Amino acid sequence: MNSIIIGSGEVGKGLYDVLKPFYPNTFIKDIEPIELPKDLNVDILHICIRFSAIFMQIIEDYTIEYRPRFIINHSTVPVGTTEILRERLDWVYVVHSPIQGKHPELAEGIRKHIKYIGFDNLHPEVLDQIQEYFEHAGIRTKTIKDSRSTELGKLLCLARYGLNLAFAKEQEKICQQFGLDYMQVVYDMENSCNAGHKLLGQDQFIRSLLTPPKDAVGGHCVIQGMEMLSKQLDGLGKLLETATEIGKNTTVWQPANVYSTAKIGRNCSIGVGTEIGHNVVIGDDVRIGAQCFIPEGVTIEDNVFIGPKVCFTNDRYPPSGCDHWQKTLVKRGAAIGAGVIILPGVVIGKETVIGAGSVVTKDVKDGEIWYGNPA
């Protein structure tokens, strides 16, 4: 079968590495255009992109462009997404088949894990074709009627893993309060307990052994999956807050959007309407005004003042994809005035002052005062 993989991140690249040796007419596409053989009839469109507000439209556009027979959605998505796709694209067969495995070695994970295929009202012969396609490439499969099962199963797996990591972090903190070692108190004892359960044939009681993360719970798929689930279910938000690391005496004025991977220090104030993205690191005693945008890749050290409507960026040539994002560092004691725009890849030095409304396009040395457009 001829296929195109949409998305060349870790998921798409891992799938490509597994399929290409068995299906030479397997191509991978991201934002950049690709050259395809003339008169290529596309059988399968593999979806391997992160879920977003325009996820459906992206798939619809590619489906109209390539006219595949099948859409296999490997992405982590909210429950019910496959049903919606099937209704919108009623001329093509749509299934959900989430990727399992550890980043970044996803090719090996795809080969070793069972590939679940969630389907809705597919004719058995059509389902057989999809299974045979994967199994010819050495991928074991299992079909599940009702694509919501694979969608929810993936989300719950990610949520459980994220919460277990967050709890391991809490266990480590408790051990530190007693001056004890987590690996000895928790990890070794749990490992011994698991060995005992195996000897007794009690596999149902075996527990996960996790090393606490150094900072907050990381990983795009884990946190994004938890957030999807939280939006669809009432009452889950408080439970998922355990994966967010916010220091003592820090106030986040609502409504604000703080991603669960963000790490915020003590005695901070986060203004109304501010968004703090994945893996942002903010030190102690930081004041951030209302309606600021602080995306992934930004690190803000201690005692920094950021006025209202300050906009950080991480993509100099959007939309380039996260592989080309750049980092930004704001050093201790800097003061950034209202409405400042900061381009990605710059360092703002210690005790600097950036005037209101400025556009910062390059590094600022310690102790200097900059203003203007460009500053």
Across the range 363-375, mean pLDDT stands at 96
Point out the domain boundary residue: 108, 130, 145: 145
Structure-model confidence comparison of residues 317 and 137, the more confident one? 137
Q: Quick check: is 105 in a domain?
A: yes
pLDDT of 130 reads 96
User: Which token pair is 10?
Assistant: 């870790």
Going by the DSSP 8-state scheme, the letter that residue 253 receives in this structure is P
Q: Quick check: is 49 in a domain?
A: yes
**How does pLDDT run across 46-70, given as a tens digit for each residue?**
999 988 888 999 999 999 999 999 9
Do 138 and 250 have their domain in common?
no
pLDDT of 297 reads 92
User: What pLDDT band is residue 323 in, cutting at 50, 70 and 90?
Assistant: confident
pLDDT of 285 reads 93
pLDDT of 245 reads 66
Do 126 and 253 have their domain in common?
no
User: Which token pair is 328?
Assistant: 């930004």
User: Which token pair is 336?
Assistant: 């950034």
Per DSSP, the three-state class of 158 is: helix
Q: Quick check: is 231 in a domain?
A: no
pLDDT of 17 higher than 70: yes
Do 271 and 137 have their domain in common?
no
* Phi, psi at 8, each rounded to 5°: -110, 30
Structure-model confidence comparison of residues 208 and 92, the more confident one? 92
Structure-model confidence comparison of residues 256 and 151, the more confident one? 151
Point out the domain boundary residue: 123, 145, 167: 145
pLDDT of 241 higher than 80: no
Across the range 91-120, mean pLDDT stands at 92
* Structural domain harbouring 86: 3-145
pLDDT of 261 higher than 70: yes
pLDDT of 239 reads 55
Q: Quick check: is 324 in a domain?
A: yes
Largest CA distance in the chain: 72
Structure-model confidence comparison of residues 138 and 249, the more confident one? 138
pLDDT of 218 reads 53
Least confident of 4-8, 44-48, 52-56, 212-216: 212-216
Q: Quick check: is 116 in a domain?
A: yes
Q: Quick check: is 204 in a domain?
A: no
Per DSSP, the three-state class of 71 is: strand
What Å distances lie between residue 1 and 15, 42, 188, 341, CA to CA? 15, 8, 49, 48
Helix (H) or strand (E) holding 61: helix 55-66
One-letter amino acid at 245 equals E
Question: How far is residue 361's CA from residue 234's CA, in Å, rounded to a whole number?
Answer: 43
Where would I find the beta strands (DSSP E) of 121-193?
Answer: 141-145
**How does pLDDT run across 325-367, given as a tens digit for each residue?**
899 999 999 999 999 999 999 999 999 999 999 999 999 999 9
Q: Which CATH number characterizes residue 255's domain?
A: 2.160.10.10
Question: Which percentage of the chain shows pLDDT scores above 70?
Answer: 92
Pairing verdict, β 335-336 and 347-348: unpaired
Give the chain's domain count. Answer: 2
Q: Quick check: is 223 in a domain?
A: no
Question: Residue 73 forms beta bridges with which residues?
Answer: 47, 96
Q: Which CATH number characterizes residue 9's domain?
A: 3.40.50.720
User: What pLDDT band is residue 244 in, cutting at 50, 70 and 90?
Assistant: low
Q: Dihedral angle at the C-alpha atoms of 147, 151, 157, 162, nearest 10 degrees?
A: 180
Question: How far is residue 331's CA from residue 340's CA, in Å, rounded to a whole number?
Answer: 16
Average pLDDT for the chain: 89
pLDDT of 22 reads 97
Point out the domain boundary residue: 126, 145, 164: 145
Across the range 282-286, mean pLDDT stands at 93
User: Which token pair is 313?
Assistant: 């960026």
Do 11 and 132 have their domain in common?
yes
Can you say whether the dihedral through the CA atoms of 325, 110, 20, 135 is positive or negative?
negative
pLDDT of 236 reads 56
pLDDT of 216 higher than 70: no
CB 83 within 8 A of CB 120: yes
**How does pLDDT run across 148-206, given as a tens digit for each residue?**
999 999 988 888 887 788 788 888 888 988 999 999 999 999 999 999 999 999 998 99
Do 249 and 141 have their domain in common?
no
Q: Quick check: is 18 in a domain?
A: yes
Entry pTM:
0.65
